[in-house]
Amino acid sequence: MRDIHVASRVAGIDLSGIRKLFDAGGPDAINLGLGQPDFDTPSHIKEAAVQAIRDGHTGYTANAGIPELRNAIVEKFRRENGLSFGQEQILVTAGGSEALHLVMEALVEPGDRVLVPDPGFVSYTPLARIAGGRVEGVPCDETMHIDVERAQEMMDGARLFVLNSPSNPTGMVESEGSIRAIVEYAMDASVTVVSDEVYEHFVYERPHLSASRYGDDVITVNAASKTYAMTGWRIGYLAADERYVNQCLKVHQYCQACATSIAQYAAVAAYSGDQFAVAVMREEYRARRDLLYEGLVSLGYEFPKPEGAFYMFVPMGQDRIEEAVKQGVLVVPGASFGENAPDYARMSYAASRETLRAAVERLGETG
């Protein structure tokens, strides 16, 4: 076979190991590995999509998104986050993933330092590397929250600081003091904060506070994916200073053109319609968190109770991680999320209570 030539910045990146792990599980495996809601998209949102198809909204839309959706997002920021954006500061993307990609492409020069949480969401490092950035991981403290002092020490000379609260994979929610401090340190060091808030509605102890409240060099990334159980619809957005939006728009225009028209109309219904379904999902996640946490504590695991998202990051140790997977409880090893927590594993409680009870029982059998 002839050799093919590909760019080294891409060749050096691995596909996420998470899928491979799931393929290893047998047919009766209990999958606590998935990072997506197990709920269906609320029906008024689906209906809006069907109506959009009937109305013939099937062509390209404005690159930045349909005005109705950008307005609905502006309104959402006002209502939920106490922030006032103009429509021109919103760019609708194909999920939060595309928004993260656009920001990296538009802001990172080759060799720029990009600070990402470690442990952190699997996409930050590859996306920063594809953009030519040099990634450095910001550690957690012993409570699994961002180590704000370390963050401050690392800030000088960096280009971006990626903040993710509530966090995937730790499930922790940062306090107002930490968010404010990070944004202020970043401003002093001329570092742009990218605040990934896709889990903002799944908080169980303290409120979610948007980083953009504390400074203006913040790019907020969010999505309909988790909030409205819409991962497959691929709707996300970024909100920022219009000058950032205009640069990100260039990358978006040439690689994506626009987010799916039908999904954009569905998202208008999501953001401007009844929010009751979100509260129902939050309360169900809270009950599942309590159930799984109590189950794990009863098995002898000791770790701080997660405060948000739908993940638990559990100090299991290598033997127990391997044993759990062998027994058919699929968890994601900490090594998937960076270098700092190889002995941890992420469990998702976006699974029914019955499934979670069965998982705890099996983990108990593994000893």
Stretch that binds ligand PLP, among 91-99, 101-109, 200-208, 315-323 (CB under 6 A): 91-99
| From 81, 125, 195, 231, residue interacting with ligand PLP (rule: CB under 6 A) | 231
The length of the chain is 367
Query: Closer to ligand PLP at the Cβ: 116 or 363?
Result: 116
How far from 158 is each of 165, 178, 317, 345, CA to CA, in Å? 20, 19, 33, 29
The correct pick among 96, 171, 306, 333 for binding ligand PLP (CB under 6 A) is 96
- In the complex with ligand PLP, the residue whose CB is nearer, 70 or 101, is 101
- CB atoms under 10 Å from CB of 112, counted, come to 17
DSSP state of 306: P
Residue 133 or 308: the one with the smaller Cβ distance to ligand PLP is: 308
Q: In this complex, which beta carbon is closest to ligand PLP, that of residue 198 or of residue 245? A: 198
Maximum C-alpha span of the chain: 59
Minimum CB distance to ligand PLP smaller for 92 or for 360: 92
Q: Which residue has the tokens 């205009």?
A: 246
Q: How far is CA 40 from the centre of its chain?
A: 19
- Please identify, using beta-carbon distances, which residue of 61 and 123 lies nearer to ligand PLP: 123
The interface with ligand PLP within residues 106-125 (CB under 6 A) comprises 121
DSSP string, 152-196: HHHHTTEEEEEEESSPTTT-----HHHHHHHHHHHHHTT-EEEEE
- Smallest gap, in angstroms, from Cβ of residue 336 to ligand PLP? 12
Q: Which stretch binds ligand PLP (CB under 6 A): 92-100, 153-161, 265-273, 282-290?
A: 92-100
Backbone angles phi, psi at 242, to 5 degrees: -55, -30
Binders of ligand PLP among residues 314 to 353 (CB under 6 A) are none
> Should residue 284 be labelled a site residue for ligand PLP when binding is judged by CB under 6 A?
no
Q: Please identify, using beta-carbon distances, which residue of 100 and 181 lies nearer to ligand PLP.
A: 100
d(CA 229, CA 12) in angstroms, rounded, equals 33
Choose between 137 and 320: whose C-beta lies nearer to ligand PLP: 137
Q: How far is the CB of 165 from ligand PLP (least distance, A)?
A: 10
Are 260 and 92 in contact by the 8 Å Cβ rule? The answer is no
- Token pair 């319609």 is found at 273
Of these, 37, 236, 308, 338, which contacts ligand PLP (CB under 6 A)? 236
Query: Which has the closest alpha carbon to 216: 252, 246, 243, 197?
Result: 243
Number of CB atoms found within 10 A of residue 225's CB? 22
223 belongs to the binding site for ligand PLP (CB under 6 A): yes
Distance of closest approach, residue 101 Cβ to ligand PLP, in angstroms: 9
CA distances from 145 to 102, 126, 213, 294, 301 (A): 27, 23, 20, 21, 19
Q: What are phi and psi of 7, to 5 degrees?
A: -65, 135
For residue 161, give Cα distances in angstroms to 112, 192, 280, 331, 347: 11, 6, 33, 28, 26
Taking the least distance from each CB to ligand PLP, the nearer of 122 and 363 is: 122
Q: Which is nearer to ligand PLP, 139 or 295 (CB)?
A: 139
**139 HSE (CA, 13 A, CB side):** 10
Figure out which of the listed residues 105, 118, 196, 307 binds ligand PLP, where binding follows CB under 6 A.
196
Q: Is 271 in the site for ligand PLP (CB under 6 A)?
A: no
Determine the size of the site formed for ligand PLP (CB under 6 A): 13
- In the window 17-76, what residues touch ligand PLP (CB under 6 A)? 35
Site string for ligand PLP, 170-189 (x = CB under 6 A): --------------------
In this chain, which residue has its C-beta nearest to ligand PLP?
95
| Among 66, 183, 198, 356, contact with ligand PLP (rule: CB under 6 A) | 198
**Count of alpha carbons within 13 Å of 76, Cβ hemisphere only?**
27
Residues that bind ligand PLP (CB under 6 A): 35, 95-97, 121, 164, 168, 196, 198, 223, 225, 231, 236
